[in-house]
Structure 1
Amino acid sequence: MPMSNLIKQAKTWLQQLQPCQLCGSDYQHIHSVCEDCWSQLPWAKTTVQRQEMQVHIACDYTYPMDRMIQLFKYEQKLHLQNVLAGTLLSLRLPKVSAIVPMPISTERLVERGYNQSLVLAKHVAKHLNVPIWQPITRRSQHSQKGLSRLERMDDIEAQFEISTQSKLCYRRVLIIDDVVTTGSSIHALKLKLEALGCREIYAACIAGAKI
């Protein structure tokens, strides 16, 4: 057996001796959690329609998924990326040529230290054996308090801009984000990707929140 396979098997064996990252009372079985914790996640595994677009979601945005996402997103609990990305990998994802993580503004990047959607997207891209593609940037994100629904949509669309004039363009892409609520950000990103020449644009999120 090749040495690389032996090393991979050893890593898997050692991981299975580690305690579950959620309950801590059983051993890790899948994506760093035990079988019970994995099965008890608020699974949805469905699509929801947001802004005239079908978005694949793995779970409902309820406990403990909502708390896990908050810890991962705002409190630098990066060890949760395995189970969160694992929920995305449990979906029947469409065949695409590239993964597009939801961009965040420079201010948010400095504040958090990383783009949580990019961290998740890397897992999905590795699983699907496709590249990460980031042709869109995001301007300053600010509070939308006091804005009407149309004003909010216009404001979000104005946040995204094409950052490259590269001739490289992927026709079939998958947007990755952590949570979808109204779908306004995904819709705004989709419009920019269409402007670049993308023809088939899909989206997948860990969880879907009720609106």
Structure 2
Amino acid sequence: MHLSNLSFLDWKRYAPCCLCGESRAIQHSVCQQCWDGLPWQKQHIHRHDIECFVSCHYDFPINRIIHQFKQQGKFEFIELLTACYLEKPKPRVQAIVPMPIATEKLIQRGFHPSYLLAKALSHHWQIPIWQPVSRHDGHAQRGLSRADRLSNLLDQFYLNTEHCRYKHVLMLDDVITTGASLAALQQQLEQLGCSQIQSMCLCDAVH
């Protein structure tokens, strides 16, 4: 059967794997072999006194997938990336807080990666998205030490509301390195009045 003759639902059923392009996609747009071959980690790590659940090591092919999603707008990878998050049980939180993005970065990219991933998870878990923290345009973090990253970020995040709508929240990001971004975001959420803050990232880039 030729793919061009299939309906959308049938096409999804017979579509090739989005990674190898050879085997038929079994789940999450990938074949079973590619799914099993992802650099799984599936554990909690600790950075800046924050416990964060991560799904994978930042290795091939997940690092390439994240890069293409964020830098090239390859939205077809959202299903796969969302599935990686879903390897963790549904968190007992009231809302998902995606990592804030600076306005200049949003204009440059044209979309907010963490928000799109949070939106997909919100749909699966039936948990609302909440964005009480915004981010100033600032200097890049690349090349800074762990201490300098945190100091730089503390000045970049700010509350855009005085009302704490949810007490129990999940901070969501794609890649964790030093954990400085999550620590800065958590500080703002605690200042607002959040009492239980969890965190989840796709990958750990330090191992």
> TM-score under structure 1 normalisation?
0.90
Q: Any gaps of 5 or more consecutive residues in structure 2?
A: 1-6
**Superposition deviation, residue 142 in structure 1:** 1.4
Q: Equivalent pairs: percent with the same residue?
A: 40
Query: Cα gap change, 1:137/1:22 in structure 2, threshold over 3 Å: closer, same or farther?
Result: same
After the TM superposition, which of the residue ranges 181-190 and 16-25 deviates more from structure 2?
16-25
Matches within 5 A, 1:12-91: 13-91=10-88
> TM-score under structure 2 normalisation?
0.91
CA distance in 2, matches of 1:149, 1:13: 49
User: Which residue of structure 1 aligns with residue 158 of structure 2?
Assistant: 161
Say whether the 8 Å CA contact 1:99–1:175 is kept in structure 2.
Answer: yes
Query: Cα gap change, 1:11/1:172 in structure 2, threshold over 3 Å: closer, same or farther?
Result: farther
CA distance in 1, matches of 2:203, 2:143: 26
Give me the CA root mean square deviation.
1.7
CA distance in 1, matches of 2:143, 2:66: 26
Matches within 5 A, 1:130-149: 130-144=127-141, 149=146
1:206 aligned onto 2:199 = no
CA distance in 2, matches of 1:57, 1:187: 16
Say whether the 8 Å CA contact 1:169–1:196 is kept in structure 2.
Answer: no
Give the alignment partner of residue 112 of structure 1, picking from 109, 120, 140: 109
**Superposition deviation, residue 141 in structure 1:** 2.9
Deviation per CA, 1:19-60, whole angstroms, max 9, x where unpaired?
111111112211111111111000010010011011000000
CA distance in 1, matches of 2:149, 2:122: 31
User: Which residue of structure 2 aligns with residue 175 of structure 1?
Assistant: 171
Q: Any gaps of 5 or more consecutive residues in structure 1?
A: 1-9
Say whether the 8 Å CA contact 2:39–2:57 is kept in structure 1.
Answer: yes
After the TM superposition, which of the residue ranges 142-151 and 171-180 deviates more from structure 2?
142-151
Say whether the 8 Å CA contact 2:68–2:74 is kept in structure 1.
Answer: yes
Query: Cα gap change, 1:209/1:147 in structure 2, threshold over 3 Å: closer, same or farther?
Result: closer
Query: Cα gap change, 1:78/1:92 in structure 2, threshold over 3 Å: closer, same or farther?
Result: same
Give the alignment partner of residue 102 of structure 1, picking from 99, 104, 107: 99
**Superposition deviation, residue 157 in structure 1:** 0.9
User: Which residue of structure 2 aligns with residue 3 of structure 1?
Assistant: none
**Superposition deviation, residue 12 in structure 1:** 5.0
User: Which residue of structure 1 aligns with residue 182 of structure 2?
Assistant: 186
Q: How many residues align?
A: 201
**Superposition deviation, residue 152 in structure 1:** 2.7
User: Which residue of structure 1 aligns with residue 3 of structure 2?
Assistant: none
